[in-house]
Amino acid sequence: MTPYQSGIIAEASSDALFITLNLDRSDLSALKTTLASLPSVVEQYQQDYADAHLHAAIGFSHLIWDELDTQRPQYLSPFPTIEGKDIQIPSTDVDMVLHLRSSRRDVTYLLGEALYSTLSQYAILVEEVSGFKYLDNRDLTGFVDGTENPEGEQRKAVALVGEEDERFIQGSYFNLMRFVHDLAKWEQQDLKTQEDTYGRTKFDNEEYPSSEKSVHAHTKRTSLKDEQGKSLEILRHSMPFASLTEKGLMFASYSKTPVIFNRMLESMVKGDEDGNTDHLMQYTQATTGQAFFIPSNTWFTELTT
Binding site for ligand HEM (CB under 6 A): 139, 141, 143-148, 177, 179, 198, 200, 218-219, 222-223, 234, 249, 251, 261, 264-265, 284
Smallest gap, in angstroms, from Cβ of residue 71 to ligand HEM? 27
Question: Cα(82)–Cα(187) distance, rounded to whole angstroms?
Answer: 28
Are 237 and 253 a contacting pair, CB within 8 Å?
yes
Of 219 and 288, which CB lies nearer to ligand HEM in the complex structure?
219
Of 44 and 231, which CB lies nearer to ligand HEM in the complex structure?
231
CA dihedral sign of residues 287, 290, 294, 295: negative
Smallest gap, in angstroms, from Cβ of residue 14 to ligand HEM? 17
Minimal CB distance to ligand HEM: which residue? 148
Smallest gap, in angstroms, from Cβ of residue 248 to ligand HEM? 7
Of 38 and 281, which CB lies nearer to ligand HEM in the complex structure?
281
Ramachandran angles phi, psi of 156, nearest 5°: -70, -40
Smallest gap, in angstroms, from Cβ of residue 281 to ligand HEM? 8
Of 90 and 146, which CB lies nearer to ligand HEM in the complex structure?
146
Of 108 and 223, which CB lies nearer to ligand HEM in the complex structure?
223
> Which residues have a Cβ under 8 Å from the Cβ of 70 and sit 6 or more positions away?
none
Smallest gap, in angstroms, from Cβ of residue 82 to ligand HEM? 10
Smallest gap, in angstroms, from Cβ of residue 152 to ligand HEM? 16
Of 88 and 117, which CB lies nearer to ligand HEM in the complex structure?
88
Question: Cα(205)–Cα(147) distance, rounded to whole angstroms?
Answer: 8
